[in-house]
Amino acid sequence: MSTSVSKFAAGLRLCHHLPMKKMKAVVLGAAVVLSVGIAGCSADQESSSAGTSVAPTTTASSPVASDYTNLLIKPSDIDSDWTLKSSKAEKNGITGIYGNGAGTEKITTAVIVRENATSAAAAAKNDVAQKSGAAFTPIDIGVEGGILNGPDGTTVVVFAEGGAFSIIEFNSKTGEYVPAEVALAIAAKQDAAIKNGVK
């Protein structure tokens, strides 16, 4: 485990806990809604509107043995006291919710397998940026990768890798931001899981 990831238990206590709403577009305002509904954006769609989802297009790649659970990071990739609280199969993807032992921090990650994953990641970033009034900072993870600190201490990372894209949301009850190096260390683990799982 890297030094950054091993510091996660302390570092992630610097972000804000907010609930996830399923099948709605990503919204940043008083709360952040992480949604796999953004996966339904068409290839040429620049942004999506809240509460709207469109059926995903046919995918060009598929995970090994069609098991989307292998696209999620392991709790041990975060820290020793973290567990996968729940996972939900989505069309062409999966959403996982992780929590720490104290119940004070949460990470929600969605991985969607798409033929036009790069375009979908760009659309997700555009949508989050517009609704938050903030801008993504480019990152060296995947394609179209970026990190953004939204309102109320929520941090969002978006990137595409091969035939899939991911949206990761970091939240904590303290309302302060997760350190960027911690968020990026977790995102790099998610990127590796996608590389290994999508062929």
Identify the residue with better confidence: 26 or 163: 163
Q: Which two tokens stand for residue 71?
A: 């696209």
Domain count along the chain? 1
Q: Count of residues for the chain?
A: 199
> Which of 31-40, 113-122, 142-151, 188-197 is the least confident region?
31-40
At 150, the pLDDT band (50, 70, 90 cuts) reads: confident
What pLDDT score does 173 carry? 82
At 64, the pLDDT band (50, 70, 90 cuts) reads: very low
Question: Considering the chain, what percentage of its residues have pLDDT values greater than 90?
Answer: 44
CATH code for the domain of 140: 3.30.200.100
At 191, the pLDDT band (50, 70, 90 cuts) reads: very high
In the predicted model, what is the mean pLDDT of the chain? 74
Check if the beta carbon of residue 142 is closer than 8 Å to that of residue 160.
Answer: yes
174 is in which domain, residue-wise? 3-197
Which segments of 3-132 are extended strands (E)?
A: 27-28, 32-33, 83-90, 93-99, 105-113
What pLDDT score does 66 carry? 60
Cα(113)–Cα(130) distance, rounded to whole angstroms? 24
Cα(63)–Cα(134) distance, rounded to whole angstroms? 33
Q: What is the mean pLDDT of residues 2-14?
A: 40
At 133, the pLDDT band (50, 70, 90 cuts) reads: confident
pTM (2 decimals)? 0.72
pLDDT of 147 over the 90 cut: yes
pLDDT of 5 over the 60 cut: no
Identify the residue with better confidence: 90 or 38: 90
